């Protein structure tokens, strides 16, 4: 079952706050948000046994660390 886009966006914002030690949401551009959603979807397909929470954390961390998979 594919997670809803709104739920994923909420998860991305939550992880971003954690990774930046920020109390406020970081403004992602539409392009950045689309890129994160795409990467999350790709990773979920490639590693279906991985928990959604882990996938979101991994993808968002790599985004901030500017690392490619």
Task: Supply the pLDDT for residue 18.
Answer: 79
In which element (H, E) is residue 43 found? helix 30-46
User: Do the Cβ atoms of 11 and 59 come closer than 8 Å?
Assistant: no
Tokens of 54: 């882990």
pTM value? Answer: 0.82
User: Do the Cβ atoms of 31 and 38 come closer than 8 Å?
Assistant: no
Q: What is the pLDDT of residues 15-55, one digit of tens each?
A: 888 776 666 666 788 999 999 999 999 999 999 999 999 99
Residue 24, helix vs strand vs coil: coil
Q: Is the pLDDT of residue 1 over 80?
A: no
Nearest by Cα to 8 from 55, 61, 47, 63: 55
């Amino acid at each position: 079952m594919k997670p809803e886009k709104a739920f994923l966006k909420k998860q991305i914002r939550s992880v971003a706050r954690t990774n930046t030690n920020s109390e406020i949401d970081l403004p992602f551009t539409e392009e950045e948000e689309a890129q994160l959603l795409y990467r999350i979807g790709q990773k979920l397909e490639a590693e279906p046994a991985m928990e959604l929470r882990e996938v979101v954390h991994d993808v968002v961390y790599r985004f901030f660390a500017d690392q490619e998979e």
